[in-house]
Amino acid sequence: MLTLVLLMRAIDPVQYSSRVSGLLCELCVVDSMRCRYYQDLQSKYQIEDYIAASRLQNRTLNLSGKGLTYLCRLEFFTSITHLNVSNNQLQSLNSPLSLLHCLEELDASNNQVKEINGLSGLRNLTVVILDSNQISSPMTLGHLTTCTAIQKISIKLNPISSVSHLLSEMFPNAEIVY
């Protein structure tokens, strides 16, 4: 089945898009040990399809609710200022995000995010929304201290919400929303 998926993507990704998605779901059932791989492959295909269909004229990338398990191909979006990856299945916001030097606002709410290493050094980042994730340590948010323009961090419904005094000290110039 995987060979069929790869062939269909090579022949005509648009025509076979729904069939490929269905086969990847079937592969998760048949081969549960590699389910995460198939989910990541589906994420990659969805982002590639979005690249092919979009022109990004307003410098906003909306990948909300696409069932993504990881982010890839962000090198094609280095000039975006707003990124919405909410309502997915992301567990980390790592390396590829560091390519987004123009990024000003990030909405990664309603995921399963535990790590945000990829946000380090994004100097234009002003707003980060991480509501309803799995962030449990102030050290995780420490990566945002290198984002010199940060004005607002929203962390509602995260295990970390109970350590407000530490976060106020870490980000004296930012609004922290619990």
Q: What is the pLDDT of residues 151-160, one digit of tens each?
A: 999 999 999 8
Range of the domain at 96: 56-177
Q: With beta carbons less than 8 A apart as the criterion, state whether 100 and 83 touch.
A: yes
Name the CA dihedral angle for 70, 76, 78, 84, rounded to a multiple of 10 degrees: -40
Instruction: Examine the pLDDT at 55 and tell me if it is beyond 70.
Output: no
Instruction: Examine the pLDDT at 22 and tell me if it is beyond 90.
Output: yes
Q: Do 71 and 128 sit in the same domain of this protein?
A: yes
Number of domain units in the chain: 2
Task: Identify the pLDDT of residue 119.
Answer: 96
Q: With beta carbons less than 8 A apart as the criterion, state whether 135 and 112 touch.
A: no
**Comparison of pLDDT for 35 and 165, the residue scoring more:** 35
Q: Do 70 and 117 sit in the same domain of this protein?
A: yes
Q: What is the mean pLDDT of the chain?
A: 92
Mean pLDDT, rounded, for 156-166: 82
pLDDT digits (tens, 9 = 90+) for 138-148: 999 999 999 99
